[in-house]
Amino acid sequence: MEHLFDQDWEIVPAGGATGEAFFAQYQEQKLFLKRNSSPFLAVLSAEGIVPKLVWTKRMENGDVITAQHWLNGRELNPEEMKNERVARLLKKIHSSRPLSTMLERLGQEPFQPEHMLTEVETGLEFDLLSLPIVRQALLFLQKELEEVRQDEYVVCHGDVNHNNWLLSDHNQLYLIDWDGAMIADPAFDVGMLLYWYIPEEEWPAWLNQYGVDLTDNLRLRMKWYVVAQTILSIQWHKGKGRFHEMNHWIEYLHKVV
């Protein structure tokens, strides 16, 4: 990475699971670099959803390096997820034709609920399946599968955790970390956000800001995806040996099902 710049630039790893991200700084110039990010990033930048893409360079070894403005800012706190700007930006993402066109060009197929159910069923280990609450949740997913099928598929972020919302020092709001982007039911994102951050009595008002009504079908679809995501979280943390987090999500599953 260093040979992209002259020796005056300071380049340090930015952390993250892939080890492909870096911060670069020279005097007042600051860039966020990523190796082999998806072409999807350029569309996200053009739509104003992530910080501006400055340049893209292809290396001799075939790697593609992208550079974005490195913005001073902070993550949203959980209380701020109620903000109308969050609802508006998520609706903009879900309504964006350029985003969906690019994912389709990259070969993304709609993530149907049966795909998620298969992922849940094939990933569950026997000792988790022996838990009554997990069996109850799995029965719910199987029973309601036909009811959650629908025709509206949009670009979903897949992890709308408050840590992925960046508010810059210039009061610009971004949704970052798009490695899990998919074409899916908008209830995949909306359900996670409402269940985690918005009191249920405030759901109609938040959804009004987003631009839809809280119907019985939307309520069911949100619950279905949250239950499925919770089971996957339980299995993932168990696989990593993170038993405290695993037990947290098991307790959460009791509240949701």
The set of catalytic residues is 159
Side-chain half-sphere CA neighbours of 33 within 13 A: 23
Cα separation of 186 and 91, whole Å? Answer: 9
Residues with Cβ within 8 Å of residue 234, at least 6 apart in sequence: 128, 134, 246, 249, 250, 253
At position 201, the amino acid (one-letter code) is: E
Rounded to 5 degrees, what are φ and ψ at 104? -65, -40
Longest dimension (CA), the chain: 61
Fill in the amino acid letter for 15: G
Strand order in the sheet with 165-168: 73-75, 165-168, 173-175
Q: Which residues are 156's β-sheet partners?
A: 182
Angle between helix axes 216-239 and 187-197 (nearest 10 degrees) is 80
